Amino acid sequence: MKVGVVYAKPDRQAWLTVDVPEGATIEDAIRRSGILAQFPEIDLAQQKVGIYGKVAALDAPVADGARVEIYRPTTADPKTVRRRAPAPKPAAAAAGGNVEAA
């Protein structure tokens, strides 16, 4: 079976294709791909993994054509980031023009 293994950092991404035997797990695919040598900061004991955007356990089986993903740890709480973001500007002000009443 062919399986994709992906990992992305802000400045570098990798998508590797690996052959795995029938019954292989997510961890098997990751280890066989060689991605751990390319990104030594990956810690499978700490980081979440998944298939097609759904978090899964390392011992979950993979299917032919699956995309195994290794997720980076969250560095900021998404709710906090939204609260800190500036409020959107009104369309007229953002366009830089004057709006006349009809």
Reported as a single tens digit per residue, the pLDDT across 28-81 is 999 999 999 999 999 999 999 999 999 999 999 999 999 999 998 776 666 665
pTM: 0.70
Q: Is the pLDDT of residue 97 over 60?
A: no
Closest CA to 39 of 11, 7, 69: 7
**What sign for the dihedral angle of Cα 7, 12, 15, 20?**
negative
A 10 A CB-CB count for 39 gives: 14
Contact status, residue 39 vs residue 9, Cβ threshold 8 Å: yes
49-51 and 54-56 as β-strands: parallel, antiparallel, unpaired? antiparallel
Question: Which domains are seen in the chain, by residue range?
Answer: 2-83 (3.10.20.30)
Q: Is the pLDDT of residue 6 over 80?
A: yes
Determine the pLDDT at residue 96. Answer: 57
Determine the pLDDT at residue 74. Answer: 72
